[in-house]
A = this chain, B = another copy of it.
Amino acid sequence: MRFFETIQGVYFDDLDAFRILHNSRYLLLFERAIGAFWERLGWNRGGADNPDQHHLVRENRVEYLRPVEGVGEVRVRIWVEKLGRSSLVFGFRMLPMEEDVDYASGTRVLVRVDPVTRRPVPWSDDLRARLQPYVREPKP
């Protein structure tokens, strides 16, 4: 299984009053890594010219393992934990720049929907093929 990794800055405004990365910011860093991943797969940044781009966030889960102290940089690694018919579970790990000891891990569940009815519709075959190398648990 392959993963996709980006480097994300942690800035002064991301820190809370304990000088650690505020718990809600992990979702932003994770979301930015997914954005960079879609670009890698050939999607337009922020655009929606591809039907698979019509999807909703169904769930976020973050487990905080040790605090990110002060400003600096972190690595955010993502992969596809599970690829369903119209759902998709991203897994992620947040890691220091020079160690493989997690700051945090988590998942995000997406569901592709029809832009008008907002009802679930299947991912395209093209997307399925592009995601395949990053899938951790391919359907048997």
Contacts and interface: CB of A to CB of B under 8 A. Distances in A.
Copies of chain A in the complex: 4
* Chain A contact residues: helix, strand, loop or mixed: mixed
Contacts of A126: none
A85 interface: no
Interface string A95-134: 0000000000000000000000000000000000000000
Interface stretch (A54-62, A74-82, A86-94): A54-62
Interface residues of A, number: 33
Contacts of A19: 17, 46
A104 to B, nearest CB: 10
Contact of A71 (B22, B24, B46): B46
Nearest to A20: B17
A12 B24 contact: no
Contact of A22 (B13, B58, B64): B13
9 contacts: A11-B32, A12-B16, A13-B16, A15-B46, A35-B71, A45-B70, A45-B72, A57-B64, A59-B62
Interface of A: 9, 11-13, 15-17, 19, 22-25, 27-28, 31-32, 35, 45-47, 56-64, 67, 70-72
